[in-house]
Amino acid sequence: MQSFVDFIQGFLGLGATVILPVAIFLLGLFFGQKPGKAFRSGLTIGVAFVGIFLVIDLLTLNLGPAAQGMVDRLGVELNVIDVGWPATSSIAWASVVAAFIIPLGLVVNVVMLLTKTTKVMNVDIWNYWHYTFMAAVIYAISGSVIQGLIAAVIFQILCLKIADWTTPMVRDFYEMPGVSVATGSTVSYAPFIFLVKGLQKIPGINKLKADSDSIQKRFGVFGDSMVIGLVLGAAIGALAGYDIGDIIGIGMSMAAVMILMPRMVKILMEGLMPVSESARTWLNKKFGDSDITIGLDAAVLLGHPSVIATALILTPITVLIAVILPGNNVLPFGDLATIPFVIAFIVGAARGNIIHSVIVGTIMIALSLYMATDIAPVFTQMATEASINLPEGSAMVSSIDQGGNLINWVIWRFFDLFN
């Protein structure tokens, strides 16, 4: 069993830049593409994801130290450290239930496709770690592998159903036909879409409009997404107490993120479209159903400038509300760079309106911090059992990504009633 777990961990350690191209290549062959064409599609998607993750790394390397600078200036003392998704995924795959998740997840997806309970063919196997973490949490509180696997299946089914529900948004707002997103750290915040809809009915607030197009029309060159990235990045640097050189440096990095991310996503779509068309043709011929979508990493949604702009505004807000929220013990850090993933569906529901997205995003993150605080004892227990070293000065650990994940928290609390 341990050798199989090690194999799974080694396979997933290859990352999305290897796993997704292989999956797309095999899908292309399955749906009747010539080997050369399928290979080019997979390679193109691999190249695009290399670019996307390089841009995300640029975001992470700049936001992490800036957040620490803001925390230091505020003199904050919070005893639960947000360790971020990399440590969280390591905790998940260290659980004894990890070996079952990928085969079980594939079976669940195929059964749902055959029974037409979903139209999402999720090739984002790399992000199955979200299901693994759900199973690991329930195993930690129950000691039952069966309960853990049931919880993982419930989580996956909800992710796929939400992906079905949000497919029109991905197609129309993000301009990605044939694509869906079932990534756990994004779909779990989809229920807050209803909050966006309610906000847009409030007189006065519904008139506030600040999407990327309207900003550029009003401010000309100063409303360009690259300039917005420069300004927001420089503002974060100033709040962190940087000197002028570092302020300009982080501003330039955020300007680069704003301009490079959409171009990487465009390359990804170039590789995906031939496979998507082949899938639709094959499925229509076999089942009379051409609406099947391919589930991809939520990183594909980060190409819209409103997503990055909203995330940059929410970064200092997240640090501030962590300080002032009564009862919160979580110090945001590791998952600040995942804020674009958390708010991607919210920005889509708001049709790119940055003002509405920031308002709802602030409420979401406040609730997320409370949930992350609540689950911290279990999270810390799992980290200790996985031999993850606790950050210096912390009594416990948690994360915004999974510790403050709404659906994860609800399922954990439900199972906790019986354990």
Cα dist. 107→19, 20, 365 in Å?
Answer: 18, 18, 33
User: Could you tell me the two tokens for 316?
Assistant: 């200092």
Question: What pLDDT shows up at residue 372?
Answer: 94
pLDDT confidence tier of residue 212, bands split at 50, 70 and 90: low
Question: What pLDDT shows up at residue 213?
Answer: 60
394 Rama sector, left if φ>0, alpha if ψ -120 to 50, beta otherwise: beta
Torsion of the alpha carbons at 411, 361, 210 and 255, rounded to the nearest 10: -100
| Mean pLDDT along residues 364-374 | 94
Indicate the range of 31-45, 273-287, 315-329 predicted with least confidence.
273-287
User: Could you tell me the two tokens for 415?
Assistant: 């199972």
Q: What angle do CA 108, 24, 306 make, to 5 degrees?
A: 90
Question: What pLDDT shows up at residue 208?
Answer: 65
User: Could you tell me the two tokens for 234?
Assistant: 């420089």
Task: Answer positive or negative: Cα dihedral of 371, 372, 374, 379.
Answer: positive
204 Rama sector, left if φ>0, alpha if ψ -120 to 50, beta otherwise: left
- Spatial neighbors of 413 by CB under 8 A, at least 6 apart, are none
Per-residue pLDDT tens digits for 332-343: 877 887 888 899
- Spatial neighbors of 101 by CB under 8 A, at least 6 apart, are 128, 131, 132, 135, 149, 152
User: Could you tell me the two tokens for 12?
Assistant: 């997933």
CB atoms within 10 A of CB 394: 17
Indicate the range of 83-97, 200-214, 306-320 predicted with least confidence.
200-214
Q: Which span out of 62-71, 79-88, 410-419 was modeled with the highest average pLDDT? A: 410-419
Per-residue pLDDT tens digits for 226-241: 777 788 788 888 888 8
Cβ-contact 258, 248 below 8 angstroms: no
Q: What per-residue string of b and e applies to 94-133 under the rule 16 or more CB within 10 Å gives b?
A: bbebbbbbbebbeebbeebbeeeebbbbbbbbbbbbbbbb
User: Could you tell me the two tokens for 41?
Assistant: 């599609």
Q: Which span out of 152-156, 273-277, 315-319, 391-395 was modeled with the highest average pLDDT? A: 152-156
pLDDT confidence tier of residue 391, bands split at 50, 70 and 90: low
Phi, psi of 240 (to 5 degrees): -80, -5
| Mean pLDDT along residues 305-312 | 85
Reduce the DSSP state of residue 294 to 3 states and report it: strand
CA dist 284 and 29 (Å) reads 17
Per-residue pLDDT tens digits for 252-291: 888 887 778 778 877 877 777 787 777 777 766 766 656 7
Cα atoms found within 13 Å of the Cα of residue 152, Cβ hemisphere only: 32
Question: What pLDDT shows up at residue 239?
Answer: 80
Question: What pLDDT shows up at residue 290?
Answer: 61
Per-residue pLDDT tens digits for 41-53: 888 888 887 887 7
Per-residue pLDDT tens digits for 131-174: 999 999 999 999 899 999 999 999 999 999 999 999 999 999 99
Indicate the range of 3-7, 137-141, 162-166, 315-319 predicted with least confidence.
3-7
Q: What angle do CA 396, 402, 406 make, to 5 degrees?
A: 115
Cβ-contact 419, 123 below 8 angstroms: no
CA dist 174 and 301 (Å) reads 7
pLDDT confidence tier of residue 27, bands split at 50, 70 and 90: confident
CA dist 339 and 309 (Å) reads 11
Give the residue from 229, 394, 249 showing the smallest Cα distance to 315: 229
The yes-or-no verdict on residue 11 having pLDDT over 80 is no
Cα dist. 148→88, 129, 142, 281 in Å?
Answer: 17, 13, 8, 38
pLDDT confidence tier of residue 2, bands split at 50, 70 and 90: low
Per-residue pLDDT tens digits for 85-120: 777 887 887 788 888 888 898 899 989 988 889 988
Task: Answer positive or negative: Cα dihedral of 166, 17, 94, 82.
Answer: negative
Which segments of 288-338 does DSSP mark as H helices, in order?
Answer: 305-324
pLDDT confidence tier of residue 219, bands split at 50, 70 and 90: very low
Question: What pLDDT shows up at residue 210?
Answer: 62
| Mean pLDDT along residues 180-198 | 89
Give the residue from 123, 125, 163 showing the smallest Cα distance to 271: 123
Per DSSP, 390 falls in state P
Q: Which residue has the higher pLDDT, 55 or 242?
A: 242
| Mean pLDDT along residues 366-379 | 93
The yes-or-no verdict on residue 9 having pLDDT over 70 is no
User: Is beta strand 330-331 parallel, antiparallel or unpaired with respect to 396-398?
Assistant: unpaired
